[in-house]
Amino acid sequence: MPTTATSGKHLVLVHGLCHGAWSWYKVMTHLRSTGHRVSAVDLGGSGVHPSRLEEIATFADYIRPLLQFLQSLSTDERVVLVGHSFGGLAISMAMEKFPHIVSVGVFVTAYMPNCNNPPIVQMTQYFKNLTPEMYMDCRFTFRNGLPASTELGASYLGTMMYRNCQPEDLALANTLIRPSWFFLEDMSKDSLLTKDKYGSISRVYVVCEGDDVMDEKFQRFIIEDSPPNEVKSFPGAGHMIMLSKSKDISLYLQEIATRYP
């Protein structure tokens, strides 16, 4: 939920696959302490959102809480949308829907689609780079030979995703992680994003070095496939930069909020 602070910009933080608003707790604390208004949203069936996985049929269902939140804001408000990992797809659709209130989109080791190809192009490239060993103890369901949903395993979380984080952050994740859909069918549709809306908004990409989930080579592919206005790299961040380098990413988000009014 937003703070009552009246100074600073409004930053809206969106989590990655299987996570929730809780994953931003350190960044929210840092940003609020400097007077910024900060909100973190649980997407459908994620975090403490009441819907179960089987009740989230489409990507529209998944991102509805984010769109409803943005719809609730005053018409003269401007937000910095921040999406982590799979959350890059969520903020992309939100930018398309609400281009008049988004001042900049920040993609943190995230998918960042372009206006020419459906998002599944980037997603397919990601899956091509995976080897069976990288899945570890994650559990998947499949449709038509393609992954439909995933539930992240404890070994995967500790070895791949939270390797750069404190033990208590991993313990929190093991308590709150929930299964999620990939929504590949929805992501294969053309004309989801347009140059007049999504394409008109400034975009910043945050490269997380040492990321074992979305490795730097793939992040650089995303940047080349959909060039942003700005790129910033964080050495040794790993995948969960909001936990491993919470102060560093918070300071950068403050800078972005200032430079993209």
User: What positions carry a catalytic annotation?
Assistant: 85, 211, 239
Closest CA relative to residue 108, chosen from 257, 253, 260, 255:
253
Residues, the chain: 261
Closest CA relative to residue 46, chosen from 85, 102, 99, 4:
85
Q: Are 184 and 91 in contact (CB under 8 A)?
A: no
